[in-house]
Amino acid sequence: KRPPATPAVIKAFKPVSIRARTVITFATVDKEAILADVRGIISTQLGKELEKVAPESKFADLGADSLDTVEIMMALEEKFQITLSEEAGAEKITTVQEAADLICAQIAAK
């Protein structure tokens, strides 16, 4: 299944041969665009200026409580059409960059 068409995803495909059939697979992810989208979502959810939401910013330092963090994760899941589960490491996310990195990994794995 191909990731959804979002501005954060480069539409780069590479052919892969499987049992004499050519299948198109998703090849790359635009990490900078995903980080920008993640920063925007967090900024909106917390009512913070975008400039204050740096990649190294911790959710707690931005004023997020546990409910805010859950709402951020839900907004990210909706935006990127992914599931941020405990198995994927979602409970360990504390910074903006960690969230973006996990999303990139999830999209690349699709």
Is there a domain that residue 63 lies in? yes
Considering the chain, what is the average pLDDT of its residues? 82
Residue 65: active-site member: yes
Show the domain range for 55: 13-109
CB contact at 8 A, 100 and 73? no
Whole-structure pTM value: 0.73
Predicted confidence band at 12 (pLDDT cuts at 50, 70, 90)?
very low
The answer to whether residue 42 scores a pLDDT higher than 50 is yes
- Token pair recorded at residue 99: 């969230």
The answer to whether residue 5 sits within a structural domain is no
Query: 75 or 20: which carries more pLDDT confidence?
Result: 75
Q: Is 8 within the bounds of a domain?
A: no
For residue 65, being part of any structural domain is answered with yes
Q: What is the CATH number of the domain that holds 71?
A: 1.10.1200.10
Q: Catalytic residue among 37, 65, 68, 101, which?
A: 65
Q: pLDDT tens, 48-96?
A: 999 999 999 999 999 999 999 999 999 999 999 999 888 878 888 999 9
* CA–CA gap between residue 49 and residue 80 (Å, rounded): 22
Would 82 be classed as within a structural domain? yes
Is there a domain that residue 70 lies in?
Answer: yes
Number of domains comprising the chain: 1
Q: Let me know if residue 7 belongs to a domain.
A: no
